[in-house]
Amino acid sequence: MNGEFIQGRIKLHAGRCLQLADEYAGLIWDERSEKREEHPTCPNDLCDATLYAWRLCYSYLSVAIAPPPKMGSPEWYAQEEEEMEKAAVAQYHAEREAEADSLGMSVDELELASWWQDRRS
């Protein structure tokens, strides 16, 4: 975890982590101990809780997110087109569900009724 702090991968929120920052600043090593241990009189509850939570993060399993395409590039236009198409499909399905719900039917029943109506005309 120290390495993550040194590399700037872990940062403390200025407004929400004041107590934790104070606790980190007040920790000292016990000079009388044979191995490197925190001094027993220093409060370290928040530091320990943060360490235990960090150990459960499994950050080594993370995958870097690809940067978005540059605005105006062909890749950007393709991505915009795909997002617009997904939004239009989602809106269509929401409208069909609302229509079916207003008629007291399921979407499948509404589709079947529409199919029969189109076939009869």
Token pair of 77 as six digits: 């236009």
Total number of domains in the chain? 2
User: Of the residues 13, 35, 61, which one is the last residue of a structural domain?
Assistant: 61
Helices (H), 57-73: none
* pLDDT-based confidence at residue 53 (cuts at 50, 70, 90): very high
pLDDT at residue 96 above 80? Answer: yes
- Do 35 and 13 lie in a common domain? yes
Q: In this structure, what is the dihedral angle of CA atoms 106, 107, 113, 118, given to the nearest 10 degrees?
A: 170
Q: Is residue 107 a contact partner of residue 100, using CB atoms and an 8 Å limit?
A: yes
pLDDT, average across residues 53-66: 87
Between 42 and 89, residue with greater pLDDT:
89
What's the mean pLDDT when you consider all of the chain?
91
pLDDT at position 59, please? 79
Residue 24 lies in a domain: yes
- Give the domain range for residue 16: 2-61
Distance CA 106, CA 98 (A): 10
Predicted TM-score of the model (pTM): 0.49
Distance CA 94, CA 66 (A): 31
